[in-house]
Structure 1
Amino acid sequence: MIKGSCLCGNIQFQTAAAPQGASMCHCGQCRKQSGGIWSSAYVKDTDLTITGPVSWYEASDTAKRGFCARCGSYLFWKAHDEDTTSFALGAVEAPTGLSIEKHIFVRDKGDFYEIADGVLQKD
């Protein structure tokens, strides 16, 4: 069972499903919202239980981002045309048992760091 929450505990989430696609996102939106790199994994919507008042921000025509309006924790990413939801690995209680599989949107990464872990990189 994977369990997580926002900083203040107002929003909690859990899944018994095996998360997929553990990644580090370097896109400009994730950098601006998280202050750096955003790590996440996803599960089918039907396998994710969320409790608490998630605020959703329509970040683009294709996706929305879920966060806690009380403490500001950025917790979820949801494409409008997919049946999965990504959740923040930084909000998950250890141990997660997960390993990062890839870095995504590396063409947009900040110029103040290098990716040097040898994990697959995608533009």
Structure 2
Amino acid sequence: MHKGSCLCGAVNFTVAGDLAPPDACHCSQCRKQSGHVWASTDVPEERISISGQEHISWYASSEKVRRGFCKNCGSVLFWDPIHHPRIAVAMGAFDPPTGTKLHVHIFTADKGDYYDIADNVPQE
């Protein structure tokens, strides 16, 4: 069982079972939303329980995806592909230990020009 929350604690979640290895997304949408890089793990919807859903605001960033954040403190928490049985959860929102390591950087061709990726993790 893994637990996490937003900064103010209004939104809490638990994930049953092990976490999938996370990825770090460098696309412009994820960078603009998160302020840098979006690191997340994909969780099957049936394995996550969210309390405080009334404090989540959802932004439709495309016809296929909505992004969830706490409307109280602004914590970026979820990336939800509409009509898919999974949700991506922000790694930074989990209470440690997560028991996982970053396994890939994605959309690296779109990364910001102000940083380098130098951690020897595969890049796509």
TM-score, normalised via structure 2 length: 0.94
| 2:83 aligned residue (81, 84, 99) | 81
* Counterpart contact for 1:18–1:43, Cα < 8 Å: no
Distance 2:80 2:86 in 1: 7
Distance 1:24 1:75 in 2: 14
Distance 1:55 1:47 in 2: 21
Secondary structure of the structure 2 residue equivalent to 1:20 = coil
Question: Runs in 1 of length 4+ with deviation above 2 angstroms?
Answer: none
Cα deviation per residue 1:70-97 (whole Å; 9 max; x = unaligned)? Answer: 0000000011132100100001101111
Partner of 1:6: 6
TM-align CA RMSD = 0.9
TM-score, normalised via structure 1 length: 0.95
Work out the percentage of aligned pairs sharing the same amino acid: 48
* Counterpart contact for 1:76–1:86, Cα < 8 Å: yes
1:1-123 map, 5 Å: 1-52=1-52, 53=54, 54-122=56-124
Supply the AA of the counterpart residue of 2:108. V
> Displacement, 1:17?
2.3
Aligned pair count? 122
**Gap regions ≥5 residues in structure 2:** none
